[in-house]
């Protein structure tokens, strides 16, 4: 019986017969599969290690999950692949009367049991006490298999709804009867916090001030700790002649794995400078299999020169196993372009379309507001975004310039000369999924801005990076789970290809596929050459017509199941366009060819492991060596796990290799020939007068304020007001000098200037009085 002050949770005995049969029923249920990630196993191991340190002398300590339990289960996991019932220790099987210290311990216990049997759990019900003693505390939890209940067969009467229904997903249920009910014993009261929000703010300010002049030393200590915990963690810093940090680069093991899967496209941007040293923050980001943003690596730059950009890109390649991206999208920085040409000679470099159009509107926005050019804006957007061929774009552009008399607008001339770098039609075959701009990088910057500001240190940035990266991966794991276990509640059409896409695509990508499929409703198709070429165009009876009607040619090779559209959406986004889907429906096809549902967008369990071709000639980086070996060994383990014979053979060979490695390491230690060069490089040339950090180097100085490109920000509001006043005075003098031809009184300008000067002086006097 629990004492009054203990916080125990006890299994409910309301339905003894049902609880006793739970274990046998779940062990015989071979229809439920699980795809639990390895991180969950490691989490249980970590929890077991924590609880083992706090073991009490009570008899209940034998029920705690420890590392040995995890290893025993993983060792017997091979037998479960042959549909053999899993042998589970009695202490891990729920039984009536079992007690736990906390609700978290209860959930961990049942979750580990569910993992062994082969399902996942959810909290389906909780009860809050209404007594004054418990203060609305939750005193009862009910856990069930996540596939409890039955599927909606659609035969129930549905109320008529005038509003459009949401496009939701539902879990494929199997009416699993597994259920665990626990109730709280003892007394648990909530106590007030011994601090206020102001106290927290003061502590943060104190910590921030303490990091001054020691910021980079704390950063180095943090990076070394991360490297010891994560072998895939990689960092590098450059120092000047005074031992001050100039630039910094870092990434972790999770990000390098993401880059291996989704590194075909990256976005790079350096416009964010919110830190204490005004150093440009340069995240290298990409797109995951769900279409979400992910961070591959981050860097702080001392300047924005070609040499610095070159250093960042070369360091990035080293960390990522020398894998080059197919497409890179950046802003129009010339130094960055030169560095990309040297480091990524075979990658396609694109400029941000959004920023270029924004600059045009800022510099020549009055061209769109002219009433004589009322159709210019629509004409301009149609030519830039909807041109199908380069010849069409160039022809329509020149016609627009002549028709609207735009020959004297200089920025349009600049856009014409650099059109191949940003106009979509020139890069329509380059893989750049669902985007034409650096919005991914700016979205990452916006995330950092919510947690760090211009007075924050680099150490604060690193902690914020960890937080954001954790959120990204948690979101990715959640999306994986939903894609595996949920299905659309309803389909938009009755076509078999939509159901096929729902089975194979991740939910986020399936939504984009559905948008393309819905677009086929507005299209019509005509055969140019039956079985070889088709013409797709917008239906003439649509209420809203396009600005300029276009006909899309779709070439087909039915024996080889090849489909190519002139819009090239599949090459750019990896998803079939509505024009190809319209032709498939026209041909009465019931299945999309497998090659048009690329592995990148598929659900996790359907993705085949594709090893990255790694360069093995760089022996000076332990991180690169680790990446090469881990991926090679991972592929071997995947092959060996297919049968018991190969499994035992590889285990024996691993033991032999381990023994030989120990001998080699011992010999190397005796000869003092083994040097760990992880995260180290040689000094750079003397003319650059800088060096890069090693693990042994200490007393690293904080960086100076970076001299970056762009508009300089004043130190305080006072300086900002003075700058504005000086600018107003200068502009007035310029207007005064140019107004000599105007018919004004002789003292008009002097009088106006005197009034402005008095106004400025009065403001200064008022501010000085307020300050006193």
User: 435 or 384, which is more confident?
Assistant: 384
Residue 395 has pLDDT above 60, yes or no: yes
**What is the predicted pLDDT for the residue at 583?**
96
Residue 18 in this model has a pLDDT that exceeds 50: no
- The answer to whether residue 47 scores a pLDDT higher than 80 is no
**Range from 177-186, 401-410, 578-587, 645-654 that averages highest in pLDDT:** 578-587
**Cβ atoms of residues 421 and 351 within 8 Å:** yes
Which range is least confidently modeled, 513-517, 554-558, 622-626?
622-626
Percent of the chain whose predicted confidence (pLDDT) is above 90? 32
pLDDT grade for 653, boundaries at 50, 70 and 90: confident
589-617 pLDDT per residue, tens: 999 999 999 999 999 764 433 333 333 34
Could you tell me which residue, 132 or 475, shows the higher pLDDT? 475
Cβ-contact 274, 452 below 8 angstroms: yes
> Which of 746, 555, 678, 558 minimizes the C-alpha distance to 223?
678
Q: What is the mean pLDDT of residues 186-193?
A: 46
457 band by pLDDT with thresholds 50, 70 and 90:
confident
Instruction: Flag whether pLDDT at 259 surpasses 60.
Output: yes
Q: What is the mean pLDDT of the chain?
A: 75
Residue 701 has pLDDT above 70, yes or no: no
Instruction: Report pLDDT for 741.
Output: 41
Strand-strand pairing, 327-330 and 348-351: parallel
Residue 510 and residue 500 in contact, taking contact as beta carbons nearer than 8 Å: no
663 vs 7, residue with greater confidence: 663
Distance CA 397, CA 391 (A): 10
Phi, psi for residue 126 in degrees, rounded to 5: -145, 150
Q: Determine the Cα–Cα distance for residues 554 and 564; give it in Å rounded to an integer.
A: 6
Alpha carbon distances (Å) from 733 to 211, 297, 383, 691, 746: 47, 50, 43, 50, 15
CA dist list (Å): 665 to 7, 475, 658? 51, 41, 11
This prediction has a pTM of: 0.63
H helix runs in 175-289, sequence order: 197-210, 215-229, 253-262
Tell whether the model's pLDDT for residue 31 goes beyond 50.
Answer: no
> Does 314 have pLDDT greater than 70?
yes
Higher pLDDT, 188 or 617: 188
Compare 313 and 29 and report the one with higher pLDDT. Answer: 313
pLDDT of 449 reads: 77
pLDDT in tens, 707-756: 556 555 444 443 444 445 555 555 555 554 544 444 334 444 444 434 44
- Of the two residues 195 and 282, the one the predictor is more confident about is 282
Judge contact between 657 and 650, C-beta under 8 A: no
Q: Where are the alpha helices (DSSP H) in 617-747?
A: 622-640, 644-671, 717-738
Q: What pLDDT is attached to residue 704?
A: 59
Confidence of residue 319 (pLDDT cuts 50, 70, 90): very high
Residue 484 in this model has a pLDDT that exceeds 80 = yes
Residue 427 confidence (pLDDT) above 90 = yes
User: Cβ distance 351 to 414 under 8 Å?
Assistant: no
pLDDT above 80: residue 354: yes
SS3 content of the chain, % helix, strand, coil (to 5): 50, 15, 40
Q: Residue 145 is inside which H or E element, if any?
A: strand 138-145
Q: Using the predicted structure, report yes or no on whether residue 296 has a pLDDT greater than 80.
A: yes
- Please write the tens of the pLDDT for every residue from 404-414: 999 888 899 99
pLDDT at 29: 39
Contact 251, 319 (CB under 8 A): yes
Name the residue with tokens 């964010």. 272
| Residue 248: count of CB within 10 angstroms of its CB | 25
Helices 215-229, 458-485: inter-axial angle, 10-degree rounding: 30
pLDDT at 197: 63
Give the percent of the chain with pLDDT over 70.
64
For residue 536, what are the contacts with CB-CB under 8 A and spacing of at least 6? 523, 524, 525, 551, 552, 553, 554, 565, 579, 582, 583
Higher pLDDT pick, 681 / 176: 176
List pLDDT tens digits, range 512-521: 999 999 999 9
b/e sequence 467-502, b meaning 16+ C-beta within 10 Å: ebbeebbeebeebbbbbbbebbeeeeeebebbeebb
State yes or no: pLDDT of 190 exceeds 50.
Answer: no
- 536 contacts 525 by C-beta, under 8 angstroms: yes
Measure the CA–CA gap between 154 and 90, rounded to whole angstroms: 42
Mean pLDDT confidence for 581-592: 95
Query: Where along the chain do its domains lie?
Result: 8-151+167-185, 208-352+431-479, 356-421, 622-671, 717-771
Question: Rounded CA gap, 313 and 284, in Å?
Answer: 10
Summarize pLDDT for 510-552 with one digit per residue, the tens. 999 999 999 999 999 999 999 999 999 999 999 888 899 999 9
HEC-encoded secondary structure of 508-565: HHHHHHHHHHHHHHHEEEEEEECCCEEEEEECCCCCCCCCCCCEEEEEEEHHHCEEEE
What's the rounded Cα separation, in Å, for the pair 147 and 177? 9
pLDDT at 581: 96
Predicted local confidence at residue 403, as pLDDT: 92
């Amino acid at each position: 019986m629990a004492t009054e002050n203990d916080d125990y949770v006890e299994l409910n005995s309301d339905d003894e017969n049902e609880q006793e049969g739970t274990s046998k029923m779940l062990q015989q249920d071979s229809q439920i599969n699980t795809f639990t990630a390895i991180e969950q196993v490691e989490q249980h191991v970590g929890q077991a290690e924590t609880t083992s340190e706090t073991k009490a002398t009570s008899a209940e300590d034998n029920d705690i999950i420890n590392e040995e339990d995890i290893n025993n289960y993983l060792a017997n996991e091979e037998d479960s692949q042959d549909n053999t019932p899993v042998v589970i220790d009695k202490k891990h099987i729920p039984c009536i009367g079992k007690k736990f210290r906390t609700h978290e311990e209860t959930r961990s216990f049942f979750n580990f049991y569910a993992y062994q049997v082969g399902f996942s759990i959810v909290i389906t019900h909780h009860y809050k006490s209404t007594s004054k003693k418990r203060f609305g505390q939750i005193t009862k939890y009910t856990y069930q298999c996540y596939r409890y209940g039955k599927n909606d067969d659609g035969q129930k009467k549905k109320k008529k709804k005038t509003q459009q229904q949401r496009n939701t997903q539902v879990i494929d249920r199997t009416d699993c009867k597994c259920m665990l009910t626990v109730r709280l014993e003892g007394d648990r009261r909530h106590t007030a916090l011994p601090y206020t929000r102001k106290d927290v703010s003061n502590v943060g300010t104190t910590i921030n001030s303490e990091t001054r002049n020691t910021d980079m030393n704390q950063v180095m200590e943090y990076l070394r700790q991360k490297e010891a915990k994560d072998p895939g963690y990689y960092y590098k810093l450059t120092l000047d002649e005074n031992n001050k940090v100039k630039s910094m680069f870092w990434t972790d093991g999770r990000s390098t794995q993401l880059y291996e899967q989704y590194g075909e496209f990256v976005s790079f941007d350096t416009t964010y400078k919110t830190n204490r040293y005004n150093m440009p923050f340069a995240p290298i980001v990409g797109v995951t299999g769900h279409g979400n943003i992910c961070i591959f690596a981050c860097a702080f730059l001392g300047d924005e020169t070609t040499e610095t950009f070159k250093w960042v890109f070369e360091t990035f390649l080293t960390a990522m196993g020398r894998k080059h991206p197919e497409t890179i999208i950046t802003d129009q920085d010339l130094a960055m372009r030169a560095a990309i040409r040297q480091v990524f000679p075979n990658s396609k470099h694109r400029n941000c379309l959004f920023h270029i159009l924004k600059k045009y509107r800022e510099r020549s926005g009055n061209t769109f507001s002219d009433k004589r050019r009322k159709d210019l804006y629509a004409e301009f957007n149609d030519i830039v975004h909807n041109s199908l061929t380069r010849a069409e774009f160039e022809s329509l552009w020149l016609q627009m310039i002549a028709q609207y008399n735009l020959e004297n607008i200089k920025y349009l001339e600049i856009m014409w000369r650099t059109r191949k770098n940003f106009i979509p039609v020139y890069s329509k075959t380059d893989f750049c999924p669902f985007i034409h701009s650096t919005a991914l990088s700016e979205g990452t910057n916006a995330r950092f801005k919510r947690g760090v500001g211009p007075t924050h240190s680099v150490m604060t940035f690193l902690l914020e990076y960890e937080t954001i990266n954790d959120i990204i991966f948690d979101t990715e794991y959640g999306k994986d789970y939903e894609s595996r276990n949920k299905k659309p509640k309803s389909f938009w059409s009755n076509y078999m290809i939509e159901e096929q896409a729902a089975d194979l695509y991740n939910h986020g990508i399936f939504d984009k596929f559905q948008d393309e499929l819905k677009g086929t409703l507005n299209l019509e198709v005509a055969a140019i050459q039956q079985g070889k070429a088709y013409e797709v165009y917008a239906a003439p009876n649509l209420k809203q017509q396009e600005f300029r009607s276009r006909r899309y040619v779709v070439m087909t090779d039915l024996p080889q199941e090849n489909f190519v559209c002139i819009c090239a959406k599949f090459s750019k986004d990896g998803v079939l366009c509505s024009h190809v889907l319209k032709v498939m429906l026209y041909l009465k096809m019931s299945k999309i060819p497998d090659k048009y549902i690329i592995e990148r967008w598929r659900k996790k369990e359907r993705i085949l492991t594709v090893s990255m071709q790694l360069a093995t000639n760089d022996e000076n980086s332990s991180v690169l060596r680790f990446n090469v070996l881990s991926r090679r060994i991972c592929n071997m383990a995947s092959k060996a796990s297919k049968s018991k014979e190969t499994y035992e053979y590889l285990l024996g060979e691993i033991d032999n290799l381990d023994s030989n490695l120990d001998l080699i390491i011992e010999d190397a230690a005796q000869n003092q020939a083994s040097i760990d060069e992880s995260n180290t490089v040689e000094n750079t040339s003397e003319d650059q007068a800088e060096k890069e950090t090693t693990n042994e180097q200490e007393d690293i100085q904080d960086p100076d304020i970076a001299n970056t490109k762009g508009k300089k920000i004043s130190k305080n509001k006072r300086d900002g007001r003075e700058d504005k006043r000086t600018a107003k005075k200068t502009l007035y003098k310029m207007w005064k000098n140019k107004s000599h031809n105007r018919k004004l009184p002789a003292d008009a300008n002097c009088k106006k200037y005197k009034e402005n000067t008095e106004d400025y002086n009065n403001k200064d006097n008022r501010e000085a009085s307020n300050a006193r």
